[in-house]
Amino acid sequence: MATNGPAKDTFTSTCCYCGVGCGVTVKKEKDGSVSVAGNPEYPVNRGMLCSKGLNLQYTVNDQSDRLLYPQMRYNRSMPRQRVSWDEALQRTAAVFKTFIEKYGPDSVAFYASGQCLTEEYYVINKLIKGFIGSNNLDTNSRLCMSSAVVGYKMALGEDSVPVCYDDIELADCFYVTGANPAWCHPILWRRVEAHKAANPATKIIVVDPRVTDTCALADLHLQLTPGTDVVLNHAIGRALIENGDIDLAFINDHAEGFEQYKQVVFERTLAEAARICGVPEEQIRLAAQYIGSAKGFISMWTMGLNQSAVGVDKNLSLLNLNLITGQIGKPGAGPLSLTGQPNAMGGREVGGLSNLLPAHRNLANPAHRAEVQQFWGGTTLSDKPGLTATEMFEALNDGRLKAIWIICTNPLTSLPNVRLAEEALKKAKFVVVQDISNKPETLAYADVILPAAAWAEKEGTMTNSERRISHLAKVVDAPGEALPDAEIICRFARTMGYPGFNYDSPAAIYREHARLTAGTNLDISGLSYSVLQEKGSVQWPYKVGQKDLGTPRLFVDNIFYTPSKKAIIHATPVSFRSEEPDEDFPFILTTGRIRDQWHTMSKTGKVNKLKKHISQAFLEIHPQDAPRLGIVENDLVEVESRRGKVRVQARLTSNIKPGVVFLPMHWGKILGNDLNRANNVTSGAFDPISKEPDFKYCAVRVDKYRKP
Ligand code: SF4
């Protein structure tokens, strides 16, 4: 595929790590390497970059781990051999056709990534849903944002973040829950820090079982017991109602469900809630007081709420706080979910999850399916929801799924209860791995390996956490025979004999995707590719005739996307579905990220500078718990659950609650040793609606490691 733009040596792009989506300039140096700097004109970061963004160039310049050419094997006892692209794609197409004919279209699946560009997502989605006839496309976004997606849809009628980052400077109260943005969304957090420094009366409430760097800025830290978020949010809701700090005009005119909500939050006194959550009652009252007296209130959250067996309930209970106070649809107010991956939003926009259709259309809606089928001109769209991330690996294990194509993600580090996923790939009849690196553990199971182009080696668009669509330029050629992911998928689709995949550029895919959004709530049919390139970034929706920089804020007219046009206040019941600690496994394990690594370290792990912050996996344990287990600082400890074991060094810290332990999620198998991998022990539980796994809560035991 041709890429756009005249010959030049400096390009604009977007950081390929977190969903903050910082703008960068990428310079192609004379020796062929690239240098990267923060783009001072970009509205998100105004030139700033965090430690990961500042080291982006190393991931492009160091090509020592790159996959360079397609490889294949006919049976698993043979070594893989280098083959041509045609040979690899013809074999893959033949195998896929055989399975589809013999077992039906649901016997194959694609498992992709929130790092894919929007155009890549679009063609994968079109291929599997529009032509193969299955909805078996899911991505690792299922592991991080799907509870937030469901929460938005249930409360606001659409998966739509109402606010923009510029609201940060207009708010005077932040409720940051289940997130450590100081480490995981650093540039956004720097904007909050700067705002607080300039406006010291701004109140910051942090809710987290751990004392994180984010807490350094907090006026109030609610160190709750893991899993009690709904109780806490309801208690704050009750206090707001008791104090009269709710917006009755908004509730009466623009929301539904308040009376039922009131009944649910009054089921428990604040004293009872305080006891359940493990936080003082006065702190709950103070949080309510801060929120209730705010002119502009922003709630911020990420995995601590989403990655839970009650993730949707947690999201709804949080959204309720914005709704009962009328803190939505106005400057400096609203819910702001922080996205873990750079393009999880873009993926959802094109329908890149197993239960979605393009432009947030609903798979269950026959009219929506017909509309998309007519547009694509392919097969009748299946009404059966596809397999989600974890379900795909279950289906490989029990034989329902025969073939899986894994794109740009590393499930053997990132999936919960990961040994099940290993078993699944062993049992799979056919595995395709499309990646940039020769490191992911999945490669050991691959029948076909397809080398992909990396960031800065391909062109396209992404959408960040504030609905900002940005253009990423191609700067350098991919090494060897590596190809952009969209080109690989289109070549495969043509090999399968499907029409409609003859795009001459990523811009052509974008244009088709934009046309398909016309008339929907995320309409970008007015945003041409050249306008996007020229403006650098634009926030959706952007309808035909629009000339500005898009739509920074949704629901300014208090009209929501629900059938009644009102927001829904859900009377979320308090339930608990995680694995409870017991005598054998007495600790609660929670997992999370560290400052200088990203996901499974396939890129950040290559950068020596980034390893200096924290170089190896560890277990955080409270100094009250460690001595009775005979554990001192830096001891090797074993963390064991009903599913497996981890062996790492202990870090004694009173930053965590007694009875709770913490493992970072980044480490996988290193030199054959998989005992650093947190997901050896995490639970297979997931939210019943969002199907997002419960990474933040399972029962483990901890022992000092003694050599046998
Ligand atoms: Fe990249 Fe996120 Fe850091 Fe910005 S905050 S530089 S997007 S990792």
- Which pLDDT score is estimated for 212? 97
Among all chains, which residue has been given the structure tokens 């409609």? Answer: 500
SS3 (DSSP) at 138: strand
Separation CA 550–CA 542 (nearest Å)? 5
Peptide bond into 541 cis (omega under 30): yes
Q: Which of 13, 15, 59 most suits a substitution to test ligand 1, by most atoms within 8 Å of the C-beta?
A: 15
Question: Is ligand 1 within 6 A of the CB of residue 48?
Answer: no
Q: What is the pLDDT of residue 450?
A: 98
What spacing in Å lies between the alpha carbon of 344 and ligand 1's midpoint? 14
Q: Is 19 in the pocket of ligand 1 (CB under 6 A)?
A: no
Q: Which of 12, 45, 180, 462 gets mutated to test ligand 1 (max ligand atoms within 8 A of its CB)?
A: 45
Substitution site in 16, 20, 599, 610 for ligand 1 pocket (most atoms within 8 Å of beta carbon): 20
Q: Which residue lies with its CA nearest to atom 6 of ligand 1?
A: 53
Q: Give the helix, strand, coil percentages of the chain, each rounded to 5.
A: 35, 20, 45
Cα 304 to Cα 290, 338, 464, distances in angstroms: 22, 11, 19
Distance 585 CA to ligand 1 centre (A): 37
Domain with CATH 3.40.50.740 in the chain: 71-140+343-539
Dihedral of alpha carbons 546, 552, 558, 561, sign: positive
Adjacent-strand bridge partners of 648: 637
Q: Whose CA is nearest to atom 4 of ligand 1?
A: 22
Q: Give the amino acid at 452.
A: A
CATH superfamily of 146-337: Dimethylsulfoxide Reductase, domain 2 (3.40.228.10)
What is the DSSP secondary structure assignment for residue 372, as one 8-state letter?
Answer: H
What distance in angstroms lies between residue 523's CA and the mean position of ligand 1's atoms? 27
Using N-to-C axis directions, what is the helix angle for 229-243 and 281-292, rounded to 10°?
A: 60
pTM of the model as a whole: 0.96
Whole-number pLDDT of residue 7: 62
The ligand 1 atom at the shortest distance from the C-alpha of residue 598 is: 8
Instruction: Verify whether ligand 1 is closer than 6 Å to residue 296 (CB atom).
Output: no
| Tokens 């059938």, located at residue | 563
Q: CATH 3.40.228.10 region(s) of the chain?
A: 146-337
**Which distant-in-sequence residues (6+ apart) come within 8 Å of 248 by Cβ?**
none
- H-helix segments, 343-474: 344-349, 366-376, 389-398, 411-414, 418-427
Q: What is the pLDDT of residue 598?
A: 85
Compute CA 237 distance to the chain's CA centroid, rounded to the nearest angstrom: 28
Binding site membership of 50 for ligand 1 (Cβ less than 6 Å) = yes
How far apart CA 199 and CA 228 sit, in angstroms, is 31
CA 409 to centroid of ligand 1, rounded, Å: 19
Single-letter residue type at 311: G
- State which of 187, 345, 463, 465 you would mutate to test the pocket of ligand 1, scoring each by most atoms of that ligand within 8 A of its C-beta: 187
CA–CA distance, 373 with 366 (Å, rounded to integer) = 10
Closest ligand 1 atom to Cα of 342? 7
| Rounded Cα distance, 30 and 27, in Å | 10
Query: How many residues in total does the chain contain?
Result: 708
Other Cβ atoms closer than 10 A to 244: 8
43 Cα–ligand 1 center, Å: 13
Is the CB of residue 20 below 6 angstroms from any atom belonging to ligand 1?
yes
Region 587-704: CATH code:
2.40.40.20
Separation of CA 182 and ligand 1 centre (Å): 11
Whose CA is closest to atom 2 on ligand 1? 18
Identify the residue whose C-alpha is closest to ligand 1 atom 3.
Answer: 50
Is ipTM beyond 0.90?
yes
Domain 71-140+343-539 of CATH type 3.40.50.740:
yes
**How remote is the CA of residue 44 from the centroid of ligand 1, in Å?**
10
Answer yes or no: is the C-beta of 165 below 6 A from any ligand 1 atom: no
Q: How far is the CA of 20 from the centre of ligand 1 (A)?
A: 6
Q: With b meaning 16 or more CB within 10 Å and e meaning fewer, what string describes 7-33? A: eeeebbbbbbbbbbbbbbbbbbeeeee
CA distance 187 to 185: 6
**Helix (H) and strand (E) counts for the chain?**
23, 28
Let me know: does 493 contact 485? Beta carbons within 8 Å.
Answer: no
Q: Is 22 in the pocket of ligand 1 (CB under 6 A)?
A: yes
Token digits for 81?
A: 């051999």
Residues 605 and 610: their CA atoms lie apart, in Å, by: 7
Name the DSSP class of 488.
Answer: H
Q: Which of 620, 168, 139 is nearest to 347 (CA)?
A: 139
Low-confidence ranges of the chain (pLDDT < 50): none
Cβ neighbour number for residue 530 with a 10 Å cutoff: 11
